[in-house]
Amino acid sequence: MHTVTTGPMHPWNLSADSKGSIHDDDTANDLGFRAGTVAGDIHLEQFGGILVEAFGPAWFEKGSLSLYFLTPTAHREPVEAFLDLPSAPPLTAVQVAARMATPGGVPVAEGTASVGTVNEASALSSRDRRAVDPASLRMLRGAHPGRALDAQVRRPWRENQLRRIANGSMTAPLPWYSDESPWGGPVCSPLTMCQLLVAGVTGSIERECGEFVGMYGAIEVRHVNGPLFLDTEYEITGEVLAVSESPKTEVLWYRTQARETGSSTVAAEVTMMTRLLKDSSPLYR
């Protein structure tokens, strides 16, 4: 077994000023968290360098990263990302274990990473979603499996990605995120990729839920025919996969796909699990 790691890095809580969200200290404290949380998609970005180390540039063409989040972290708390490889890199057509932990060994996330065509199901694909009848829920009653999400047409957040590189808030920047890449222009980092495929797509469902605070519970980013380019316009579509619940949350599972505008070819997709905190909803008070 060969393990590659980033070593301790200090992810920023980029949404600390978003009042009323789980990233805001006061709101997080009210809901029983010790501080505003670092969003899960920010943790994805820390894997960028070791994914290329393990799989080469091919990860941006047909690679995935699938993580289930276990322990929230706060602003600039150190975490380490790991890939457990069967042999020395670079590897092709393989899936491996991916994980994140604090330097003290507290697990932050667990899952898989892959490149190429593999037979194994990813960490999120193989997870029991414990689906329930939407009618049994209070917030997600209308989020039935198969429901189409709100379609979007847009470009990636180029200036946001470049600003995070410039101000040092990106944990693992690659030259390809701002300059020429093996495919031509600059490509999306895992965080930018997630933002592109997720922002706004559940707006209609969220309005039906009423007041609530949500947090990411699991994310899988997958390049199907990648990479995603900063300077390209994409059409984003998606659907609900399942709804479930735990004692403290209602849970929404969904998948989105990105296609270059006018193309029928899927460039990338994201599978997301979002938790809606029951204690934050008037429907549970």
pLDDT at 156: 98
Listed by start position, the domains of the chain span 2-119+134-284
Contact yes or no for 49/174 (Cβ under 8 A): yes
210, 216, 218, 223 alpha-carbon torsion, rounded to 10°: 100
Specify burial of residue 270 (Cβ count, 10 A radius: 0-12, 13-18, 19+). Answer: buried
Specify burial of residue 209 (Cβ count, 10 A radius: 0-12, 13-18, 19+). Answer: buried
pLDDT at 89: 82
CATH topology for 2-119+134-284 is Thiol Ester Dehydrase; Chain A (3.10.129)
Nearest to 60 by CA among 182, 144, 160, 178: 182
Which tokens in the block code for residue 44?
A: 């994805």
pLDDT at 87: 85
Which tokens in the block code for residue 35?
A: 């501080």
Rg (CA), the chain: 18
Q: DSSP per residue over 194-260, as a string? A: HHHHHTTTTHHHHHHH-S--EEEEEEEEEESS---BTT--EEEEEEEEEEEE-SSEEEEEEEEEEEE
DSSP symbol at 183 = T
CA atoms within 13 A on the CB side of 176: 20
pLDDT at 1: 82
**pLDDT tens readout for residues 45-56:** 999 999 999 999
| Residues in the chain, pLDDT under 50 | none
**Distance, CA of 113 to CA of 122 (rounded, Å):** 8
pLDDT at 42: 97
**Distance, CA of 42 to CA of 9 (rounded, Å):** 12
pLDDT at 88: 81
**Distance, CA of 90 to CA of 181 (rounded, Å):** 18
